[in-house]
Amino acid sequence: MNPSSPNTPLVIDVKGVTKRFGKKTVVDHIDMSIQQGTVFGFLGPNGSGKTTFIRMLCGLLEPNEGSGTCLGYDILKERRMIKQHVGYMTQRFSYYEDLTVRENLDFVARVYGVPDRKIAVDQSLQSIGLRGRENQLAGTLSGGWKQRLALAACMLHKPRLLLLDEPTAGVDPKARREFWDEIHALARAGMTILVTTHYMDEAERCHQLAYIAYGKLLAQGQKDFLIQNSGLHTFRITGPDLPQWANDLRDKTGVDQAVMFGSSLHLSGIDREKLEATILKHMKGTHQWEPKATSLEEVFIQLMSQSEDNFSTGSEAPNNHPE
């Protein structure tokens, strides 16, 4: 499956999707189309509406406004049908820690009414690499193995769409890499995956990205497209006393970001001429500077700085907080 081909069918095609909790609009008239076999990443600040939006796409939450389809079903009238074809992996491990791996999977298979339950559980144990741990209590698994169990559970009913809500939080780098290898294998087989993440290295592994800040869709596209269209220019500074330099330059003309990366300082700004003028003005003979490619992290920090928190007016957030 090639998600970049114009002939690849759309799994999600929605317009004007909106959700309110009380007087607060937490998802504000978002349009989106996602092709089959796409690993689609959602980024943005905590509480920005990412998870709420995805839940509406998948039939788990009803929009106040908007229209469209998911898996060919109407997101307003056929939510129950959508849910039957969605696998949902939450942020927190939500299975029974006093049951074994096999017992947890068997329970989930019963809930979904999976036919030939024992065979389905055996196949799941094999495909996700849990064979040999099926009799281990779930509560004694490490973070990486709990993650595999959660993925196996949400795949038991063979969903066509997979929703992963910050799936690798607290997982070591090796387990994260193995998890993402599995995700891309599923995508190659035709599954569509929606994932929320705060890790930029994970965002770079997605085919498409969307940045949602406080209910509004601010940017959408492939990584290179987002960087090229950010308007940001970035320079790398090397030399002594760089932490002090960072503090001194943060509020100077043309400097939108000043961040230490190891032994170098990265300065970013929208207005290249003003940024260069500020660097030259403060440059010392012991420092060197050169342009560098703007990173995805710098793009999203810039987007975050331009967005306004819709829960910052002083009133309390609703009990049904979007994230």
Residue 69 has pLDDT above 90, yes or no: yes
Residues 121-158: tens digit of each pLDDT: 999 888 878 888 889 998 898 888 888 888 889 889 99
Which CATH number covers residue 265? 3.30.70
Q: Is 30 exposed, middle or buried (0-12, 13-18, 19+ CB in 10 A)?
A: buried
Range of the domain at 249: 233-293
Confidence of residue 320 (pLDDT cuts 50, 70, 90): very low
Question: Is residue 114 a part of any domain in this protein?
Answer: yes
Question: Is residue 1 a part of any domain in this protein?
Answer: no
Please compute the mean of the pLDDT values over residues 8-13 and round it to a whole number: 93
Could you give the C-alpha distances from 17 to 33, 69, 315, in angstroms and in order?
A: 12, 11, 24
| pLDDT, position 119 | 93
Cα 263 from Cα 240, distance rounded (Å): 9
DSSP state of 134: T
* Same domain membership, residue 34 and residue 143: yes
| pLDDT, position 312 | 54
DSSP state of 95: S
Q: How many domains does the chain have?
A: 2
* Same domain membership, residue 223 and residue 238: no
Cα 166 from Cα 46, distance rounded (Å): 11
| pLDDT, position 319 | 43
Rounded mean pLDDT of the chain? 88
Confidence of residue 92 (pLDDT cuts 50, 70, 90): confident
* Same domain membership, residue 194 and residue 150: yes
Tokens 């999707």 correspond to 17
* Same domain membership, residue 271 and residue 139: no
Please compute the mean of the pLDDT values over residues 13-29 and round it to a whole number: 95
* Same domain membership, residue 257 and residue 114: no
Please compute the mean of the pLDDT values over residues 194-221 and round it to a whole number: 92
* Same domain membership, residue 264 and residue 134: no
